Structure 1
């Protein structure tokens, strides 16, 4: 094939890819992580942006200088100074060590500060009473228990807008990760252990929730919906759940916890108040383990 044919083929393919960009934009394709709807998600988006700009301070000049040097010192440029014995420049050494060092220092301070500010175990400050949700990762679905309301759901949660949500998370299978991208942090769910997460939604919406850790053949469909509602709408949702004839005790749980792909949303009007702790305790010889303790102390 002639070189001209190769060039024409590359140009055609490049043109096709360029035309796909606006199509992707108008089709609503977006990264939910970069469209936060809660204060934690907004803070994390800002952290991502700040870190990216800080690193681009190094990356962009390096790319630009690489292209400049390749052009300036090309073989056909007879005007470029030729110094085969050149090996050191104090000015260059100062620049290439000082700037990256300052950026690393900046990122270290930023990391230290935001690690404490965005600690998933840190309760959110609010005058509104938080709502508590117990989360159990199963194969391949999510079980949610509302201990204060005495109800439970599968693959759907709801909470009032502007209300802190305190999640306690465990797994009754392999290790998994609980994640609502538009609200914030992902936290691991581990069998026999309890982790925590505190989130809040600043506006109403229907947000995607997902498993962020591969857990077998049903992983890709291990999704749920997080519904942020007005107080009146949330009360109506609770009434809808309580209208269900299905009840969740240990015997019913043993059926619900069986592996299932593409599990539908399920409601339980009542739930065993000890169910969540019993799920954890079954992995610890009848005892409850709280990893928030530095030594993972076992509690009776």
Structure 2
């Protein structure tokens, strides 16, 4: 291959790479645009992982390109020929030692941040609880503190830690994901998983089911609206006074009707329905979410015994 042809091909690949990079700027990479403390920790992990991987990947690609060019088959190539070469201690230390060091560094940061997110510092003010249930192919949110419910839209105060308790009802396992605020956590029938989220900035954020669950999974999206506490309280009060109540029949219809659903708001919902459906789907009290419910059962049982 002549140098002219090689330069033309190299120019083509360079232009193609630049086009991909520049044109990709037309879309916002929301995963790389954190708006809360949890997402910021995960963003730092992405940056650290990328840098550590680049330490290995870039030299390997550069050496690969050099080897292909230097030892290519062409007349007059005077590259050294060593058919019996099989050992070099220095190179072995490099190609084994560098990855081991990188894995150790990556493992340290991963373990540190994972445990920090799984066990956030205790605060005097308990987190706000929102219960999220994935169905085919919609999301239902219960607000125990406000006694309201929504479908495919969730509101939360800015600057306040929110504990999402997530499960799946009469639906396959899914994944609850708000890229700009937190990572993913799985929703599974009979399980109530926890995910801590906090928004530091007011705005509307994209939320989605991140697992393949059938025909409508690609559109199984919801909107997260983070707003000041006063606006959140005003919204909750407005829902409480203007929206219809969610009956068990309404909830069962959401569960059994396969397909997408429009945004809905409810001024109330059947008490304890989230916990009941988790337990009906084979759930156990492993997560500690249902301690109040179990205590209530015990109190009722004691009352019956006394009678």
Band of TM-score, shorter chain: 0.7 to 0.9
Corresponding residue for residue 185 of structure 2: 187
Shift in CA distance, 21/84, structure 1 to aligned 2, threshold 3 Å = closer
Per-residue Cα deviation, 1:207-247 (whole angstroms, up to 9, x for no partner): 01100111111111111000000112112211231133421
Q: CA deviation at 1:249?
A: 2.8
Shift in CA distance, 15/83, structure 1 to aligned 2, threshold 3 Å = closer
> Is 1:66 aligned to residue 56 of structure 2?
no
Q: CA deviation at 1:290?
A: 3.0
Q: Identify which of 112, 128, 133 aligns with 1:131.
A: 128
Name whichever structure is richer in helix by fraction: 2
Trace 1:133-282 onto structure 2 (pairs within 5 A). 133-172=130-169, 173-282=171-280
- Would the aligned equivalents of 2:133 and 2:141 in 1 still touch at CA under 8 Å? yes
Q: Give the TM-score normalised by the residue count of structure 2.
A: 0.83
Alignment partners' CA distance in 1, 2:267 and 2:103? 53
Alignment partners' CA distance in 1, 2:260 and 2:186? 21
Q: CA deviation at 1:104?
A: 1.7
Q: CA deviation at 1:94?
A: 1.6
> Is 1:290 aligned to residue 282 of structure 2?
no
Trace 1:6-155 onto structure 2 (pairs within 5 A). 22-25=22-25, 27=26, 29-76=27-74, 78-119=77-118, 122-123=119-120, 125-126=122-123, 128-155=125-152
RMSD: 2.7
**3-state SS, counterpart of residue 242 of structure 2:** coil
**3-state SS, counterpart of residue 169 of structure 1:** strand
- Would the aligned equivalents of 1:124 and 1:198 in 2 still touch at CA under 8 Å? no
- Would the aligned equivalents of 1:242 and 1:270 in 2 still touch at CA under 8 Å? yes
Please list every run of 5 or more consecutive structure 2 residues that lacks an aligned counterpart in the other structure: 1-7, 289-293, 298-307
**3-state SS, counterpart of residue 191 of structure 1:** coil
**3-state SS, counterpart of residue 80 of structure 1:** coil
Alignment partners' CA distance in 2, 1:23 and 1:75? 37
Shift in CA distance, 24/61, structure 1 to aligned 2, threshold 3 Å = closer
Alignment partners' CA distance in 1, 2:149 and 2:124? 26
Corresponding residue for residue 296 of structure 1: none
- Would the aligned equivalents of 1:221 and 1:261 in 2 still touch at CA under 8 Å? no
Q: Which ranges of 4 or more aligned residues in structure 1 deviate by more than 4 Å?
A: 8-21, 123-129
* Range that drifts further, 83-92 or 32-41: 83-92
**3-state SS, counterpart of residue 256 of structure 2:** coil
* Range that drifts further, 127-136 or 72-81: 72-81
- Would the aligned equivalents of 1:129 and 1:163 in 2 still touch at CA under 8 Å? no
Alignment partners' CA distance in 1, 2:105 and 2:29? 27
- Would the aligned equivalents of 1:126 and 1:164 in 2 still touch at CA under 8 Å? no
Please list every run of 5 or more consecutive structure 1 residues that lacks an aligned counterpart in the other structure: 1-7, 294-298
- Would the aligned equivalents of 2:136 and 2:260 in 1 still touch at CA under 8 Å? no
